[in-house]
Structure 1
């Protein structure tokens, strides 16, 4: 008896002919790039190293586009951004030991933000594996161990025949909700050895769907339908799942106010009558969320930044939809639904009843008025004007990438992202140096629109080398550097805690002259001219730098009632 799937597995005559007569001159590296192509990759990021040369040599025999950065950590940030804006896997090619380890901070950010990065690193030759000390250059006793605490899954190859399956398994892992970074390592001699294996063609690595259990969504729908004061917290999982439309439909059916976390910026329209925006570091917002009798949390673990520094204490019933089982009920007891945000919201929309609350928009407007009054009472006009100038200069559809800097902290709460999946920052893991290399990755993904990067002068120094990358590939990134002479937010923290700051003041270059030395146009601006200078830079093709000398202050958050 012949089954349909047996017929599907039978190669065609042309496939058989190609398999029996593979082209000469291929090595293990060709199996890597052929597998990536077969999985649908089009662009890879990375930085070559001695043990990884087999992969990089194979790139020239492939159709893959290579974007090479100058530091492995920055290459990881670029791949992270590519994965975020496209929703596709971003391959990252690395070398052994120091090259691999340099990517760890970027992979930690990708894990925190659920960005699908497929890191493929080389290893010492097979003879050096197994925990001995053979004296190979770059050798680690257990390279996998360095990655296991950071990435979703680790895959080790010891023979060429294992390469396609290992990469396909890693690809599937990266794209299964929650998305995240994965690690594959391949020994140097396996990459370099000539191969007679057939060319890798189409590879199937379809991610598993994370479907909600229907009895749980039935209970959640009943709770929400009968709620008197429902509210919704929308996190980054809504953005990653492309579920903002479902979220809006549910909020409107329930007349439920929605606040977006800093990772969920753009998940809900900023000016919507039910939008609480993103003022999470404000006690007025915390009070409203605590007062909800049913609180729906979608795609957020309610971590430190999303819970007003763990001062948030919900009094009602919490329903939490989360793709990462480790985050389910990790901070608050809840009806925990382990599911992809889009699938869970779809299930709720099919079962939830319609409830009307004409007073909900009034409560939202009253809360936002209180927040505005509190901020305006702090005398922070400069900061609000600078942020407004950035918003006015940036086209609505253009993505922005923010480093860990005071203007970014303002943007988390006060910036209207306008579109889903357009505002990104390093707030997941919180490492410095994210903004500019991430923006380069986004520009590589879509060269048709300008991309904005925002850094302080301290964070900018992490990424200066990538001005060469921006120029080499002609990437459409405008880099706004707010120069306050040091680590501004740490200066504030230390002055508040200890009365004065230590180790925060920095000697820095003339950023405009430095950019121009790379062949990148630069301009020094002022708060008064920022909007026009930034808009002009964004309108010009290729990279550019705009430097704003300014001492910005952080608004005072309120944690306690």
Structure 2
């Protein structure tokens, strides 16, 4: 009898000849890039450093495209966005010690948002490992420990023969739901030493499927079929699993209203009769969801922002579908189904019968009208008009990346992401500086399609160096900087809490002149000219900057 594995393990004569006669001049770094190429990678991000030079030298002998950023944290944000846009693991090449540690905030965002980033860092020479103090440049007592609490998995290499297996295992981990960042580290001498190992060819690192248990989906289907007032909360897991079509089919079969979380923007059509949109910081929405007798939560852990700052208290039965087992029932008791969103929704669609319409669309209209009345009463017309102008200027299929700034806070609730996987923000971990470098990563993923980045002036200061990256690679990113003279949202928070703000006012450069000094076209716009200027910038190939001086206010949320 011939087994499949016999066929896999038996090399051809040509493969044997190639393995016995590998090219000369290769080192451990070549094994890294050959493994990445064998896994299907085409683009890598990062920054070179002394201990990592073996990897970077190998890149010139590789077909991999390298996109180098100016700060490791920004390289991590770019890899994060590349992973979100493509659904592939995004390699991030880093050096040891300070270079590695500079990526931690970006990897925290990738972990919170379930973005598949494959970080490969160098290490001091193998003789310096083991927790001693050997005096090597960049040496950390335990470098892995700095990453272990953030990434999904840690993979260590001590010999060249371990490199392909370690990277393949990390790749599989990054792409198994829930997606996330992983860490691989390789000593400097292992990367630099000449190798006689054969060239790495294709590897199998197929992600594990997180399949729902059938007895649980059977119970969920029964609950939903008999519900009087069902409702659905769709989180980022729906977008990452490419399950938006399944969600739409299930919602229409059940006549169940759907609200999307801030991380799940675009998971459900904004103007669908059953769409409650994303007004999660509004008590009208919270009350509606609390009143559901069966609430289906898909791809969300119902964290702080998704639960209206933990004021949400559901009274009905909750069904929670979540690929991250640690998030199941972490905030509310539920019928917890550990599964990839697409597989679980598919299982429900196979068993849930149609539910008759009981005026569900009318209930949705009532809620949205109440939300609109409350927002309109706050007389925040400038903010709403700016958001409408951004939406009008941005092509429906163009991705946008939003930093932690007041216009982004508005966008979480009020922006119509017209396609799944097109609106991304740093709300997973909440770090500043995400928008522009993330947009660069997205532009590298899909050249020729315009990408929008939105930052405040405070967040923009984190990323100014990447104007050089945008120019060097000719990336099609338009960067909208809303300049209000400081950390606007913190100014509001502190004024509300303490009567005045401290540490929020910022000196800043002339952003248009600065951008032009990098060779990036820039324009200073106004609220009246924003739509026209932004449209022109987005339609012009290459990077551009649009600066909007404006002091915006946040709408008042209602928690109680």
For 2:313 and 2:358, the matched residues in 1 are separated by 27
Deviations 1:282-301 (A, max 9, x none): 00000000000000000000
Q: How does 1:364-379 map to 2 (within 5 A)?
A: 364-379=364-379
Task: Give 2:37's aligned residue.
Answer: 37
Tell whether 2:274 aligns with 1:274. Answer: yes
Alignment pair present for 1:343 and 2:343? yes
CA–CA separation in structure 2 for the residues paired with 1:425 and 1:443: 16
Show the counterpart of 1:24: 24
What displacement does 1:7 show?
A: 2.1
- Give matches, 1:82-161, under 5 Å: 82-161=82-161
TM alignment of 1:116-515, pairs within 5 A: 116-515=116-515
Whether 1:77 and 2:77 are equivalent positions in the alignment is: yes
Pairwise CA RMSD: 0.5
Distance 2:420 2:281 in 1: 21
How far apart, in 2, do the equivalents of 1:440 and 1:216 lie? 42
8 Å contact kept, 2:448–2:541: no
Distance 1:416 1:87 in 2: 22
- Is residue 125–residue 187 contact of structure 2 (8 Å, CA) maintained in 1? yes
Shift of 1:356: 1.3
* In 1: Cα distance, 2:3 partner to 2:65 partner: 40
1:555 equivalenced with 2:555 (yes/no) = yes
Give the aligned length. 560
- What does the per-residue CA deviation read over 1:500-554, in whole Å, with 9 as the maximum and x for residues that have no partner? 0000000000000000000000000000000000000000000000000000000
CA-to-aligned-CA distance 1:64-117 (integer Å, 9 cap, x gap): 000000000000000000000000010000000000000000000000000000
CA deviations over 1:235-258 (Å, ceiling 9, x no partner): 000000000000000000000000
2:54 alignment partner in structure 1: 54
DSSP-derived class of the 1:320 partner = strand
Distance 2:449 2:34 in 1: 30
Where structure 2 has 5 or more consecutive residues not aligned to the other structure, the ranges are none
Cα deviation for residue 357 of structure 1 reads: 1.7
SS at match of 1:66: strand
1:2-13 → structure 2 map (5 Å cutoff): 2-13=2-13
Q: CA deviation at 1:358?
A: 4.2
SS at match of 1:233: strand
Partner of 1:306: helix, strand, or coil? coil
Tell me how far apart the structure 1 counterparts of residues 108 and 356 of structure 2 sit (CA, whole Å). 43
Give, in whole Å, the separation in 1 of the partners of 2:258 and 2:7.
51
**Alpha-carbon distance in structure 2 between the residues aligned to 1:338 and 1:394:** 36
Q: Please, what TM-score do these two structures have when normalized by structure 2? A: 1.00
Query: Is the partner of 1:454 in helix, strand or coil?
Result: strand
Query: Shift of residue 3 of structure 1?
Result: 2.2
The C-alpha deviation readout for 1:334-367, integer Å capped at 9, x for no partner, is 0000000000000000011110124001000111
Q: Secondary structure at the match of 2:350?
A: helix
Structure 1 Cα separation of the partners of residues 2 and 521 of structure 2: 66
Q: Return the alpha-carbon distance in structure 2 between the equivalents of residues 107 and 58 of structure 1.
A: 25
Partners of 1:81 and 1:507 lie apart in 2 by 30
Alpha-carbon distance in structure 1 between the residues aligned to 2:187 and 2:14: 32
SS at match of 1:67: strand
Aligned mates of 1:183, 1:16 — CA distance in 2: 32
